């Protein structure tokens, strides 16, 4: 089955800095890579996703890049704000649903 590795587990940045979270996957046939944000006490929420026919996708301050050859994809958050503080999960297709990484706790200090 699919194996998803996510790094780092914790990331602390100052407000205004950029944050990058990286994930690797094992199944070269995977073609859909979403990122979810989970705020305290809530369920995860999709923030951006990318399909394997493109290498990069942007939505305001967030972007995702995909390197199919290396089988890794990354989440980039620019101009971080305190409200970006949350746990971020990457995912890749598993057998019948998504396989999630273990999550990255992002802390943005004012």
Kindly write out the interface string for residues 40-79 of this chain, putting x where it contacts other proteins by CB under 8 A and - elsewhere.
Answer: -xxxxxx--x------------------------------
Using CA atoms, how far apart are residues 33 and 39, in angstroms rounded to an integer? 20
Instruction: Identify residues 28-47 at the interface with other proteins (CB under 8 A).
Output: 31-32, 34, 36, 41-46
Asked if 2 touches other proteins (CB under 8 A), the answer is no
Instruction: Determine contact, residues 99/24, Cβ cutoff 8 Å.
Output: no
Rounded Cα distance, 20 and 84, in Å: 12
Q: Which of 109, 104, 99 is nearest to 38 (CA)?
A: 104
Query: Considering only residues 14, 53, 60, 96, which one is a binding residue for other proteins as defined by CB under 8 A?
Result: 96
Residues that bind other proteins (CB under 8 A): 6, 31-32, 34, 36, 41-46, 49, 89, 93-103
């Amino acid at each position: 089955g699919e194996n998803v590795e996510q790094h780092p587990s914790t990331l602390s940045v100052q407000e205004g800095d950029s944050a990058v979270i990286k994930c690797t996957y094992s199944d070269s046939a995977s073609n859909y890579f979403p990122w979810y944000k989970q705020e305290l006490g809530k369920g995860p929420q999709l923030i951006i996703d990318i399909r394997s026919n493109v290498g990069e996708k942007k939505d305001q301050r967030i972007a995702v890049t995909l390197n199919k050859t290396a089988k890794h994809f990354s989440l980039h958050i620019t101009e971080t704000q305190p409200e970006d503080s949350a746990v971020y999960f990457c995912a890749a297709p598993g057998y019948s649903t998504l396989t999630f990484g273990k999550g990255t706790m992002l802390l943005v200090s004012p």
